[in-house]
Each structure stands twice: as structure tokens, then as C-alpha cells.
Structure 1
Amino acid sequence: MIRLLEALCLSLILLGVFTRLSGSTELTFELPDREEQCFYEEIDKDVNVIFEFQVIQGGNYDVDVKLISPGHGVLYQEQRKQYDSHEFTTQVAGEFYFCFSNEFSSFSHKMIYFDFIVGEEPPLTADAGAHHTALTQLETSAVSIHESLKLVSDYQTHHRLREAIGRDQAEKMNERVLYWSLAEAIALVVVAVGQVLILRRFFAEKRTTI
């Protein structure tokens, strides 16, 4: 029983450690109009990188994106893109830049989400079980739970992005409906007052002066 508890504690510790060692960077930030923001990452050679982004608020949900290598070569470039994903393998080591530009917009701020995954996640059971073969089944369960949690976290992230976009669109539509309703109410009042004034003229007594 004690050995089983020790094995369970070891697996939970490994789960927490390797979750923190993941090479994924996620960020949501606001990009003002007529501005550009760049981020950089120090990456080694022959490392697989996945870069994805999505505009979740502002304007037509579009942004200019550029990915630059250490030698200032453009690896990826798109204009007025709403969302996209790009995967590549680094040919040289150094600082890789990825920039978001909203310079084409004169008044719309943008809210942008991006995920930058560098390399492969280290195995959950790299050293566990090397000296204790009895932990193999428990380690297998920990790996299965870890993979399921990663999948759930990814689904939750994309669900939150879709919810944020839907909420922003619903608020914009609600604002338009409100303004249109106010305009119709004002038009109805103006028409009603105009009709009353015209009808009063029809029934008004005309006085003749001698």
C-alpha cells in the first residue's frame, strides 16, 4: 500500500513537472490601430515550430502577420488574415520574430490570440520506471491522463475563442439593433406630430377680415 502511494505521488509530480516544461507560449493581447507589435523567441537549429493565431475582436477580424528568421528572411507573411496556422523546421539557430500589424486600420483596435509551440513535449515518463518495473502500469495511466488533459485544454481554448468572437459579434448586432430602433422611434414620433399638425389645419376655422 505504501509503495502504491509513493508511486502515485511520483506520477503526479512528474505530471506537474512535464506540464510546466511544455514549449508552448499562448498569449492574448490588444493591438491598437496604426500600430505593429513584434515578439521573439530564441530557438535552436532543427526544431519543429507551430505558429497559429486568430483575431477575436475588432474591425473585420483581420490583421497583417509576418514571421522572420534570424537572417531577416521572411518565412511566412499574410495580409488581412483572420486566422491561420503555419508549421516549419528551423534551419539555423537564433531569434525568430513574428509581428502583427494593424497599420492599415485607422480606428479599429484588435484583440489577437496566438500560440507558439517550439519543439516536441518531453515524454512524461522519461526516467520513471527505470528502476521500478512495478510502476509501468501506473505510468501508462498517468500518460493517458496527461494526453487527455492536453486535449481537453486545447478544446477549451478553441471554445473560448469561438465564444469571444460570438459574443463580440452579438454585442455589435445588439448595438446596431438599438440604434436602428431609436431611429425608428424618432421617425414615428416625427410622423405622428406632423400628421396631427396637418389635420389641425384642415379643421381650423378660417377667419375673414373686413
Structure 2
Amino acid sequence: MKKFIFCLIQLFTLFGYFQQGLSYFLTVDAHAEECFFDKVEIGSKLGLMYEISEGGFLDIDVKILDPDGELIYEGLRESSGKYTFAADKKGAYTYCFSNQMSTMTPKVVLFSMEVVEPQKADNDKDTQIGEGSDHKKLESMLRNLGSALTSVKHEQEYMNVRDRNHRAINESTNRRVVMWSFFEAVVLLTMTIGQVYYLKRFFEVRRVV
């Protein structure tokens, strides 16, 4: 019975890891900056993954600040990225996406913030040594499984975003090729009509003379 209850607790812990690894879509307007916060303990592992899905040249400025406001990471005009680090201070860490360099184009950002809290010691003195070892192995396996599944989920989301971006680029290129071909046809037709009209006028003048 104890093992069954422990397994249920671990499953709920696994679901908690999934909730900490959710992805979000964010629209950052021109000349704007959007920031988010994660309040963690010392020793926690934090991660930020992001991908620009729409807007302009698909670039944005990114920065991460510690609880004292000191800069941990900064990226300028980036289209995608991943940064992980360990928290050496207790408090709220800030993630900011800035679109202040854009004059009129908003940017759509797909991002995820992951937090892995430091592993707490097992204080249950009633647990036997062998059973405690099995529990630790099960907990480690569930944690690894949760991390792997979260990574796969994020990769699928980023691949969907990239596929949509590539499709949009292909469609835009195709439209430009069609418009350029139409423009060339119009120019060629105009030059042909102009040459025929010029030759006709030239022979009419010669005939009068």
C-alpha cells in the first residue's frame, strides 16, 4: 500500500514538472518590452527557450536579470535560443523580450521557462533502506522521463513554428516571383507596342516626305 501511495505522489510530482515546462505565445508590440518572473530557491536550475514565429525579420532582444537586477544573459536581434543556468541567489529572476528596435512591426514569440528545484533530502525515518533506495531510483527515473518528454514537446513546438515560418517564406517568395514575372510580361508588352508604334510613325513620316 505504501508503495502504491508513493507511486501516486511521484506521478503528481511528474505532472508538476510538466506544468513548469509549459510553452507560451507572446506578442511584443513595436517599441515595447515584456517581462516575466520566476521566484526560486538557491540551487534551482532555470532554463529559457524561445523562437520568433512572426513579425519583421524574426528577431528580438532578450535579457535575463537576477533578483538584484544584475544582467545574467543578453542577446540582441536573435531569432531563437536556449539558455540554462543555476540560481545562486534566492528571489525572482526576470526574463525580458524587447522589441524597441522595431518601428511598427510587432513580434510573436514562442517561449518556455523551466524550473527544476533542488532535490530535497528524504527525512522519512520509517522507510527501510532497501525500500528507500527503490523509491529514489523510481523518483530519478520519473524525473528523467518528465525532462525527456518535456524536451520532446518543446522540440515539436519549435519545429511547428519553424515549419510555419518556412512555409510563409516560401509563399512570400512565390508571390514575389509571380509578381516579377507579371511585371516583366507587362514591360515586354509595353516595349513591343511602343516599337510597333514608333516604326509605324517612322514610315508614315517617310511616306509624306
TM-score (norm 1): 0.71
Secondary structure at the residue paired with 1:21? helix
Distance 1:182 1:45, change over 3 A: same
1:185 to 165, 182, 197: 182
Letter in 2 for 1:176: T
Gaps of 5+ in 1: none
> 2:84 matched to 1:83?
no
What's the RMSD between the two structures over aligned residues? Answer: 3.9
Letter in 1 for 2:34: Q
Instruction: Using the TM superposition, give the Cα deviation of residue 148 of structure 1 relative to its aligned residue in structure 2, in angstroms.
Output: 4.4
Secondary structure at the residue paired with 2:48? strand
Secondary structure at the residue paired with 1:182? helix
> 2:168 matched to 1:171?
yes
Instruction: Using the TM superposition, give the Cα deviation of residue 104 of structure 1 relative to its aligned residue in structure 2, in angstroms.
Output: 0.7
2:13 to 13, 18, 36: 18
Partner of 1:70: 67
> Which residues in structure 2 correspond to 1:14-53 (within 5 Å)?
14=9, 16-22=11-17, 23-53=20-50
Q: Distance in 2 between matches of 1:121 and 1:115?
A: 20
% identity of equivalent residues: 14
Q: Distance in 1 between matches of 2:60 and 2:33?
A: 10
Q: 2:43 touches 2:117 (CA, 8 Å); kept in 1?
A: no
Secondary structure at the residue paired with 1:106? coil
Q: 2:28 touches 2:34 (CA, 8 Å); kept in 1?
A: yes
> Which residues in structure 2 correspond to 1:87-102 (within 5 Å)?
87-102=84-99
- Higher helix content, 1 or 2: 2
2:55 to 55, 58, 80: 58
Q: 2:14 touches 2:142 (CA, 8 Å); kept in 1?
A: no
Letter in 2 for 1:18: T
> Which residues in structure 2 correspond to 1:152-171 (within 5 Å)?
152-171=149-168
2:113 to 116, 128, 142: 116
Equivalent pairs, count = 201
Q: Distance in 2 between matches of 1:143 and 1:72?
A: 34
TM-score (norm 2): 0.71
Letter in 2 for 1:17: F
Gaps of 5+ in 2: none
